[in-house]
Amino acid sequence: MSELKSVENTLASPTGKAPTGPARGNGLKREGLGNFLRSYGALLALLLLVIYNIIFTRNFLTTQTLNVNLTQVATIVIVATGMTLVIATGGIDLSVGSLMAISGALAPLIFLSKQGPFSDPVLGVVAAFIIPVLVAGAFGLFNGSLVTHFKIQPIIATLVLFIAGRGIAQVVTNGNLQTFRNPSFQYIGLGRPFDIPFQVILMLVIVALTAWVMRVTIFGRYVLAVGGNEAAARLSGVPVNRVKLAVYVISGILSGIAGLIVIAINSSSDANLVGQNMELDAIAAVAVGGTPLTGGRVTIFGTLIGALIIQLIRYTLLANRVPDAAALVVKAAIILVAVYIQRPRQS
């Protein structure tokens, strides 16, 4: 409330013109730097990290290093992309890790089945791609309907599946580790068309597609309008509930895909581990990337960069023999610094 008022007071000169011209001066310069950091801080940090590594980390500039990093970051980016949309509407999705576990638990059950329609190898693999992702999407729909129809706060609504979802995955598999070798299914995690890991291509396609959707489509505008001012959006005829349902479904679907990638890489599915702490990584990537958690603004490429930063920090520390545990501490510091720099101007 007071924010807008003081903006009115400070920015609206009596003629209503935005403050431009000579009155600015020094303030402008300082603000300019702040704005620059807000807009490009994450990219700058990524560049600095890359430069540091080129100088200090041995064998950094190799395709192998690139592939290792991209492969590891792909699932985070895919999930974080969905999370970005949810956050843009002012929501949050804590259930992503559990949904990954569910989809990761279902896929082997399908393509390993000895009887029924899915015992056919081709059909089995196709179904193992489609059904788990659809199921994850359906759980996303469940999240979305709790948020829209029952007006439950997103953090609580998705907490339900965060708790129950992994349990469902464990119950389905009886908590057993499922191991498998199925090259056609595992292509999603191990395939290398043009010598590029398949999941990296998938990741880039998803990011580019989402960024494009957010930029040019009416859906993208609606997502931002809902996050920016839900009441106003509703009164302007925006189908608020459908938009919200959609973002949770998308988040669910992308989590489902990420779950498949993880088990394909591991050649095994452990419902206890797949996607664990993924919600934290995804939210961190979104926040570091510069999408405010309050909704209404969004940067998909920022999220990609945010995830890359987090990944690269971990890699840098490991490559320089800093233990994984210490990397957690550094990651924490990076998140805070990034969010602090990119926080909206105080009025």
Partner 1 sequence: MAQAEPLLLMEGITKTFPGVRALRGASLRVGPGEVHAVIGQNGAGKSTMIKILTGAYRRDSGSIFFNGKPIEFHSPQAAQLAGVNTIYQEINLVPFRSVSENIFLGREPRRLGFINWSRMNAEARALLQQFDVKIDVTRPLLTYNVAIQQMVAIARAISFKSKLVIMDEPTSSLDDKEVSTLFEVIRRLKAQGVSVIFVSHRLDELYAVCDRVTVMRDGQTVTDKAIKEITKLELVALMLGKELGEVTRSGTTGFSEGTHQAEEQLLEARKLKVGHRLNDVDLDVRAGEIVGLAGLLGSGRTEVARAVFGADQLEGGQVKVDNRPVHFRSPADAIKAGIGFCSEDRKVEGIIPFMSVRENMTLALLPHLSRAGIVQKAKQQEIVEKFIKRLDIKTAGPEQKIRELSGGNQQKVLLARWLCLNPRLLLLDEPTRGIDVGAKSEIQALINELANEGLGVLMISSELEELTEGCDRVVVLRDGHSVAEIPHEGISENAIMAAMVHETAAAPGGERNTDV
Partner 2 sequence: MATIPANAAAVPPGKSQSNTRARAASILQRQGVLIALVLLVLFGSIRYENFLSVYNISSVLRFNSMIALIALGMTFVIMTGGIDLSVGSVAALASVVAAQVSPNGLLPAVAAALLVGIFIGFLNGFIIAKLHILPFITTLAMLLAARGMALILANNTSVSASYETDFTKLGQGDLFGIDFLPIPAVIMVAAFLVGIIVINYTGFGRHVLAVGGNEEATRLMGLPVDRIKIAVYTINGALAALAGIILASQFGAGQPLEGNGWELSAIASVVVGGTLLTGGMGSVGSSLIGALLLGLIFNILNFENGRGFISLSAYWQSVIRGFFLLVVVLLQNRLARRNKT
Q: Which stretch, 144-152, 191-199, 206-214, 223-231, contacts partner 2 (CB under 8 A)?
A: 144-152
DSSP state string for 23-67: T-THHHHHHHHHHHHHHHHHHHHHHHHHHHHHHHSTT-SSHHHHH
Pairwise CA distance, residues 300 & 59, whole Å: 30
CB of 113 to partner 2, least distance (A): 21
Per-position x/- string for 229-248, each x denoting binding to partner 1 as judged by CB under 8 A, each - no binding = x-xxxxxxxxx---------
Positive or negative, the CA dihedral 153, 159, 160, 162 is positive
The site for partner 2, by CB under 8 A, has a size of 48
Residue 178: in which H helix or E strand, if any?
A: strand 178-179
**Per CB under 8 A, does 10 bind partner 1?**
yes
**Per CB under 8 A, does 91 bind partner 1?**
no
CB of 331 to partner 2, least distance (A): 5
How far apart are the two ends of the chain, measured CA to CA in Å?
A: 11
Q: Which stretch, 107-115, 161-169, 203-211, 246-254, contacts partner 2 (CB under 8 A)?
A: 161-169
Nearest to 157 by CA among 264, 251, 84: 251
Distances (CA, A) of 30 to 24, 25, 36, 38: 10, 9, 10, 12
Q: Which does 97 bind (CB under 5 to 8 A by kind): partner 2, partner 1, none?
A: none
Q: Which stretch, 54-62, 111-119, 253-261, 283-291, contacts partner 2 (CB under 8 A)?
A: 283-291
Angle at 120 between CA 117 and CA 123, to 5 degrees: 80
161 CB-near residues (< 8 Å, 6+ apart): 94, 95, 98, 99, 139, 142, 143
Q: Which is nearer to partner 1, 232 or 332 (CB)?
A: 232
Choose which of 68, 131, 160, 201 interacts with partner 2 (CB under 8 A).
160
Q: Which stretch, 1-9, 151-159, 185-193, 309-317, contacts partner 1 (CB under 8 A)?
A: 1-9
CB of 219 to partner 1, least distance (A): 6
Q: Which is nearer to partner 1, 7 or 205 (CB)?
A: 7
Binding region for partner 2 (CB under 8 A): 1-2, 92, 94, 146, 150-153, 155-157, 159-168, 170-171, 174-175, 280, 283-284, 287, 293-294, 323-329, 331-333, 335-336, 339-340, 343, 346
